[in-house]
Each structure stands twice: as C-alpha cells, then as structure tokens.
C-alpha cells in the first residue's frame, strides 16, 4: 500500500530529512531534477515552457528549467518577477543560477505573449503554486492557468496542479488540468479525490531521499492507497468442494412500496458477486412485485404498515432470518419509519455480520438523533459491521447534516469519529465519494476509484450488494474488513468501466453494472494474480 500524508505532516518529513543532512535546498534540486526527468520521458519534446511562482514550488521550476537547458531543450521560464526580485532566498538563488546558465525568460508578459509562446511549446511545466497555495489563484496565475489549459500542450505539474488544494482536493475557480503530476516525497490526499482526480493526470511520486519512506511512516499516514497485491489474501481461494450455502449466503432487507427496486438491485448484485444463496426480505405488499422479476432469489414478505414499509413486527423475523445467513445487508429503499428503525436497531443488537446502507443509515441517524458517535453501546458487537454512507448520509450520522463533509479528508475524519466511538476494530465505514475511503480504527484504505459512470441511481444499492456478498464469502478477520471493502469497491468500479465500454460513459444504468460484476471480479483477480502481465490504467 502507498502511504498518503496530510500536507501539514509533509513538513515533518521535510524537517526529518534536514536532520539527517538532506537540506531543503538539496531537496529543491532533487525535486526540480525529478520533474525535468519526467519531461525528458515525454515523446518528441524539444520546447518546454516552465511557469514559475514565487515560493518553493517556483524554485523547483527554476531547477527543472536549468536541468532541461543543460540537456539541450529549448526552455523558457515565465515568471511574475525577475530572479533578483524573488523574495524567498531559496527560490531566488536557483532562479539566478538558471538565469546564469542561459535559461530564457519572460518576466510578467502580457497574456497575448504567453499564448504565442504556448503555440510553439511541446511541454508545459506548472511550477506556479504548490502546497503553500490557499484561496483562489491571484493574477497573473489565474490568467496563466487559463492559457495553459487552452493550449493543448502536454502539462506536467510539479507537486500539485496549481489551483488545487493538495489537502482537500478542492479547486475554487481555476486549476491547471495536468497530464502528469510529479509529487514530492509522498502522496497527499487532495491529489486522489474530488477535483484532484481530474486535475492530476498520472501521478508519479518522487521520494527524493532514501530516508523518506521511513520518515513518512513515522509521520502517521492519514490513509493508504491500496495496490492490487494487497487484495491477495482477502477472498477465500476458489474451491470446487462447495455448495450454494458454503459459497456465502446473503439476506437483503429493505424495500417499500415507494421504492421496491432498490433491494432488487442489491440482491442481484450480491448474487452476481458470488454469494451462493441470496434471500430478500421486503414488506409484504412488495414481495409479489419482486418475486416476478427474479426467479433465482426467494422473496419473503414481512409484516407491513399501511404505507408499505416494515411494521414493528418485522424486526424479530428479520433477526431470525439474519442469524441463518453469513451476511445481512439492510437499508436499500427501506424509508425511515418507526418499523424500519426497529428493524435496523434489532439487527445491530444481533450478533450477525451486517452491512448497513442507504435508508438503513438514515434509520441509524434517526435512532441516535444524528449523533451516532455519542452512542458507543450501540456499536458494541463482535461480528463485523460495515456502514456504507455517501457524504450526505455520513453527515447525518455525525451531526453534520446541514454541511456534510466536503472533501475526502473531512469524510475520513467523520468516519473515524464513528469507528472510534467504541474503539471497535469490527466496524468499518466505507465513506463513499468520487474517491472512497474504507476506514477502521486501524487504517483508512483507498481503493482505486471507478469511473464517473458509477454516479447513477441505484449504483449505491449495487455496491451494498457487492460488499455484503464479499463479507458473506470471506473468512477474514475483522482487521481486514477495510481491505475487503476496498476490494468490493474496486470490483464495483471495474464493473462500471466495463459497463461504460458497453453502453457509453453517459449511458450506464445500475443494472449494467450488476451484469458486469462477475467479469470484473474475474479480470481483477487475474490482475491480482499476474500483476506484471496486465495494465490497469
């Protein structure tokens, strides 16, 4: 797994490196050289424009420019001020060095001149704003960002695309859209989430020093990006000595007259994700509708209120059914009512492996008056519990219903409050978003995110079914639940990619993701077993 460090903790690595004799100035030289090396790997590069800012990110850019000049590249630096006028000592020194080495420069050029230069530029190096950036990019950087994005040149960002927050992954107005980001020392969360996914392109980590790896670990990574090899042990090896029950049995509890389709999607997804036996428990009037849709999956009609949601009598029946299954998913399409809150409450207090999704989470929020983290006794259990909230559901669980977590780091923080409520390693929160984090008290694991095609109605119900099926099939310890959940997310994401190929990136419906799940899992398992022979990007 690859560590991800909060930006403020990167400074600890930097000072640790200084203590072992790698100065900031040396780091800047290595950073600039690392960026220049990536430029040289680009096909047919002869002319490069380096846009430099006024801080150390700009310093990296000046070093890169000098390094490229020495390799006979036609390089021009665009800078707001002449080297002599740069305030920061480090950046000024490297800028003057580049100037002495004969690097061409344009100081505070008008927009038209920048556009003209970009017409004959193969590669842009973006070294305007790095981790010291905050707020909105001010002139001239906002203007230059616009010119760079319009240029069509290959763009390599130094550390982080200018205009993007390396911490939050949010970008307010303008932000460089790079083809590649050469990030220094370690991954930062903002590169992996939200706008970061569009802005960074391929991410290359430049460790800069051999001590970096150790220092990063000591600086307490906020998350870990999963590699394929991390999934090797979480799914039981295939065996022919199985029957439909030993392959994992899943109970899906949910549905209402208003939303009958959601549990259907979840149950189908569980079946397509390798659970040998899937059963649906829905309010009584919904049962005949669903049974006619799905001959493979037995549908049980449970006591219902007149509005077509579970009544109070359903809870005990659900709990009995759940005891006979290897995993239970509760929530899809269930609505929030006295009866459904009772069902969720009963399942949580039963010792059954449990996944709570969608309205199951909203019931939990109702049950705890939006303060799940104030109810440790509720989450005290020995069997696995996986919550799969999107950001709004997550917000409702931890008192942020008005302003839900807006970034990956904020979502991870909210998820941590839940898992630490009872300090339980058997709880995992799958905090869903354009980048998803699978958070337990031990770790936050980031699966490779899927395509935007996944953002479609019912896609969350499908993921709930995949997670439940994987929980039912696996025999991992509770410590491995974040990795298991991350694998479920990757299979879901990969299925989304297959579906997008079949139906177009704008044409995917949840049912298409379901149909691709089996093939997606096979393809991923192949790549996990033979990582060298396949290219995941």
Ligand X SMILES: NC(=O)C1=CN([C@@H]2O[C@H](COP(=O)(O)OP(=O)(O)OC[C@H]3O[C@@H](n4cnc5c(N)ncnc54)[C@H](O)[C@@H]3O)[C@@H](O)[C@H]2O)[C@@H](O)CC1
Contacting residues toward ligand X, per CB under 6 A:
10, 14, 27-28, 31, 53-60, 129-138, 141, 158-159, 184-185
Of 401, 397, 402, the C-alpha closest to 416 is 397
Helix (H, G, I), strand (E, B) or coil at 364: helix
506 is in an annotated binding site: no
Kind and range of the H or E run holding 77: strand 74-79
- Residue 162 labelled as part of a binding site: yes
C-beta atoms surrounding 457 within 10 Å: 11
Paired with 280 in beta bridges are 252, 299
Q: Which is nearer to ligand X, 114 or 348 (by Cβ)?
A: 114
Q: Which residues 6+ apart lie within 8 Å of 466 measured at CB?
A: 269, 270, 273, 488, 491, 492, 517
Which residues in the 146-175 window bind K ion by CB under 5 A? 157-158, 162
Cβ closest to ligand X, residue 90 vs residue 315: 90
Measured from the CB atom, the residue of 132 and 518 that comes closer to ligand X is: 132
Residue 10 binds which entry of K ion, ligand X, none, CB below 5-8 Å type-dependent:
ligand X
Beta bridge partners of 438: 430, 445
The item of ligand X, K ion, none sharing an interface with residue 185, based on CB under 5 to 8 Å by kind, is ligand X
The phi, psi pair for 433, rounded to 5°, reads: -175, -170
Question: Among residues 105 and 299, whose Cβ is nearest to ligand X?
Answer: 105
DSSP H/E element including 2? strand 2-4
159 is in an annotated binding site: yes
Strands, E, within 267-381: which ranges?
277-283, 299-302, 327-330, 354-356
Q: Which is nearer to ligand X, 31 or 489 (CB)?
A: 31
Q: Under DSSP, is residue 447 helix (H, G, I), strand (E, B) or coil?
A: coil
Report whether 44 contacts 18 (CB < 8 A): no
User: Does the annotation place 100 within a ligand binding site?
Assistant: no
Residues 82 and 2: their CA atoms lie apart, in Å, by 39
| Residue with Cβ nearer ligand X (142 or 383) | 142
CB of 3 to ligand X, least distance (A): 15
Q: Which of the listed partners (ligand X, K ion, none) does 31 bind, with a CB threshold of 5 to 8 Å by partner kind?
A: ligand X
CB-CB contact of 325 with 352 (8 Å) = yes
Least distance CB 213 / ligand X (angstroms): 14
CB of 51 to K ion, least distance (A): 8
Q: How many positions of this chain bind K ion (CB under 5 A)?
A: 4
The residue of the chain with the least Cβ separation from K ion equals 162
Under rule CB under 5 A, residue 194 binds K ion: no
Q: How far is the CB of 140 from ligand X (least distance, A)?
A: 9
The terminus-to-terminus CA distance of the chain in angstroms comes to: 17
> What, of K ion, ligand X, none, does residue 59 touch, CB below 5 to 8 Å by kind?
ligand X
Contact predicate 291/262, CB 8 Å: no
The answer on whether 58 is annotated among ligand-binding residues is yes
Q: Is 262 annotated as a binding residue?
A: yes
Of 35-43, 120-128, 145-153, 187-195, the window that binds K ion (rule: CB under 5 A) is 120-128
Inter-residue contact 31 to 156 (CB < 8 Å): no
57 labelled as ligand-binding? yes
Q: Is 297 exposed, middle or buried (0-12, 13-18, 19+ CB in 10 A)?
A: buried
Q: Is 56 annotated as a binding residue?
A: yes
Q: Least CB distance from residue 252 to ligand X, whole Å?
A: 47
User: What does 133 interact with, of ligand X, K ion, none (CB < 5 to 8 A by kind)?
Assistant: ligand X
Print burial letters for 261-291: b (CB count within 10 Å at least 16), e (below 16).
bbbbbbbbbbbbbbbbbbbbbbbbbbbeebb
Nearer to K ion, 162 or 407 (CB): 162
60 is a contact residue toward K ion (CB under 5 A): no
Going by the annotation, the residues of the binding site for AMP are 432-436, 460
Going by the annotation, the residues of the binding site for K(+) are 57, 126, 162
Which residues of the shown chain bind K ion in the complex (CB under 5 A)?
126, 157-158, 162
Going by the annotation, the residues of the binding site for (6S)-NADPHX are 56-60, 130-136, 159, 262, 333, 390, 461
Going by the annotation, the residues of the binding site are 56-60, 126, 130-136, 159, 162, 262, 333, 390, 432-436, 460-461
């Amino acid at each position: 797994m690859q560590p991800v460090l909060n930006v403020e903790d990167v400074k600890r690595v930097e000072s640790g490196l200084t203590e072992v004799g790698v100065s900031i100035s040396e780091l800047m030289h290595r950073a600039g050289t690392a960026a220049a090396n990536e430029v040289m790997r680009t096909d047919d590069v002869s002319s490069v424009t380096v846009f430099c800012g006024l801080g150390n990110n700009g310093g990296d850019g000046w070093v890169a420019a000098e390094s490229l000049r020495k390799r006979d590249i036609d390089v021009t630096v665009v800078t707001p001020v002449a080297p002599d006028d740069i305030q920061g000592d480090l950046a000024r020194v490297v800028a003057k060095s580049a100037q002495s080495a004969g690097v061409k420069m344009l100081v505070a050029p008008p927009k038209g001149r920048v556009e003209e230069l970009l017409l004959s530029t193969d590669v842009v190096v973006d070294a305007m704003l790095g981790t010291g950036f905050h707020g909105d990019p001010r002139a001239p950087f906002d203007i230059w960002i616009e010119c760079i994005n319009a240029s069509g040149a290959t763009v390599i960002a130094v550390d982080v695309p200018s205009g993007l927050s390396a911490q939050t992954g949010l970008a307010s107005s303008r932000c460089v859209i790079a083809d590649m980001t050469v990030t220094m020392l370690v991954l930062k969360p903002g590169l992996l989430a939200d706008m970061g996914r569009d802005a960074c392109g391929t991410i290359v980590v430049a460790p800069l020093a051999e001590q970096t790896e150790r220092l990063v670990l000591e600086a307490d990574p906020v998350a870990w990006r999963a590699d394929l090899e991390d999934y090797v042990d979480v799914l039981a090896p295939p065996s022919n000595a199985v029957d439909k029950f030993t392959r994992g049995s899943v109970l899906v509890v949910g549905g209402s007259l208003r939303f009958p389709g959601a549990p259907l999607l979840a149950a189908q997804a569980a079946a397509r994700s390798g659970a040998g036996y899937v059963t649906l428990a829905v309010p009584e009037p919904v049962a005949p509708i669903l049974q006619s849709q799905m001959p493979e999956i037995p549908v049980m009609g449970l006591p219902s209120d007149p509005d077509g949601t579970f009544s109070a009598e359903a809870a005990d029946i659900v709990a009995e059914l759940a005891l006979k299954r290897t995993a239970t998913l509760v929530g899809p399409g269930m609505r929030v009512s006295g009866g459904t809150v009772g069902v969720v409450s009963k399942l949580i207090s039963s010792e059954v492996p449990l996944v709570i999704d969608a309205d199951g989470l909203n019931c939990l929020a109702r049950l705890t008056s939006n303060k799940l983290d104030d109810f440790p006794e509720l989450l005290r259990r020995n069997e696995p519990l996986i919550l799969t909230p999107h950001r709004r559901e997550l917000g409702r669980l931890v008192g942020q219903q008005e302003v839900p977590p807006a970034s990956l780091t904020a979502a991870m923080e909210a998820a941590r409050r839940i898992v630490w409520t009872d300090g339980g390693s058997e709880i995992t929160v799958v905090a869903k978003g354009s980048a998803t984090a699978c958070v337990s008290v031990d770790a936050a694991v980031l699966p490779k995110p899927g395509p935007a095609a996944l953002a479609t109605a019912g896609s969350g119900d499908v993921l709930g079914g995949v997670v439940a099926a994987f929980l039912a099939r696996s025999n991992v310890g509770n410590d491995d639940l974040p990795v298991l959940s991350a694998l479920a997310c990757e299979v879901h994401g990969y299925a989304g990619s297959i579906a997008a190929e079949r139906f177009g990136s704008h044409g995917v419906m949840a049912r298409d993701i379901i149909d691709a799940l089996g093939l997606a899992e096979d393809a991923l398992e192949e790549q996990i077993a033979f990582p060298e022979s396949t290219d995941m990007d």
